[in-house]
Amino acid sequence: MSKRFLGYLLAAVLVFSALASASTLFYAGDFDPNNPNANGLANENDAIVGGNPYGAATFQNFIVPNGQNWTVTGLFSNDLMDIAPGQAYWEIRTGMSEGNGGTLIASGTGTDIVTATGRSGFGFTEFNNLVTGLNLHLGPGMYWMTVVPLAPNQVGRSFNSNTFGLNSIGSDTQNLEFFNSAFFGANYTNANNEGAFPLFSDGVIGSTGGGNVPEPASLVLFGSSFLGLAGAIRRKLAK
């Protein structure tokens, strides 16, 4: 086996390993219907609470620790709802404070992968609303995220489940969540002004590392490695 063939194989394996390492980097925790303070806050765009790009949105903070860089590939929110969204709107922000939306880092609309969590409350079933296919590089610091289910033509509601940290992953700052809704007259207000909302049941999926932030060039490496490997295999078979 030639050294070039081994090089292609090693490069392809390394890239496959990097892509397969995606995991839940942050999760604020499960909704606990048995908690006396269990609740949910409007997080929706539907025929009842509508707007552009949403009728109401909750913002959960998460922290990328010092010495780490995250490549975010997915975001999700767990919502108590009776709508069937086909898409979801998402954002990541920095520097949020009372009455201040901070700086929008990235946003978009994507396919909403909807999965029942097995939990329920207040007459609603809880669903996980996941958007994937992202490629966002975040350095150390605090960020805020939202994932809003979109069902503008459906009569129904969606409420982002609150949590008190059950089964949480990663770091956040409690009681520093925000709520924004022109429909309800809320301008990036602290979510606790709407009730007891220390955390929202939201999460971040991706991969993590130290040092340099991974670049999209890794995908180019994968493509060239795979093509080179395929070519080497064809040459081997042709002999």
Measured between alpha carbons, how far is residue 197 from residues 142, 167, 187 in Å? 18, 17, 16
pLDDT exceeds 80 at position 215: no
pTM of the model: 0.81
Q: Which helix (H) or strand (E) holds 209?
A: strand 202-209
**Token pair in block for residue 7:** 């090089």
Please report the DSSP string for 175-195 in residue order. T--EEEETTTTEEEEEGGGGS
**pLDDT computed for residue 209 by the predictor:** 83
Q: What is the pLDDT of residues 170-204, one digit of tens each?
A: 999 999 999 999 999 999 999 999 999 999 999 99
pLDDT exceeds 70 at position 228: no
The distance between the two most distant Cα atoms of the chain, rounded to a whole number of Å, is 73
Q: What is the pLDDT of residues 121-175, one digit of tens each?
A: 999 999 999 999 999 999 999 999 999 999 999 999 999 999 999 999 999 999 9
pLDDT exceeds 90 at position 21: no
pLDDT exceeds 70 at position 96: yes
Q: For strand 103-111 and strand 87-94, is the pairing parallel, antiparallel, or unpaired?
A: antiparallel
Q: What is the pLDDT of residues 108-123, one digit of tens each?
A: 999 999 999 999 999 9
Contact between 164 and 37 under an 8 Å Cβ cutoff? The reply is yes
pLDDT exceeds 50 at position 211: no
pLDDT exceeds 60 at position 238: no
For 51: left if phi > 0, alpha if psi spans -120 to 50, otherwise beta; the answer is left
CA distance 220 to 216: 7
**pLDDT computed for residue 221 by the predictor:** 36
pLDDT (mean) for 53-67: 98
Q: Which helix (H) or strand (E) holds 32?
A: none
Q: Please provide the average confidence, as pLDDT, over all residues in the chain.
A: 86
Confidence of residue 2 (pLDDT cuts 50, 70, 90): low
Least confident of 70-84, 185-199, 210-224: 210-224
- Which parts of 28-112 are beta strand (E)? 40-42, 45-46, 57-64, 69-81, 87-94, 103-111
Return the percentage of the chain with pLDDT > 70, whole number.
79
pLDDT exceeds 80 at position 16: no
* Domain residue ranges of the chain, discontinuous segments joined by +: 22-212
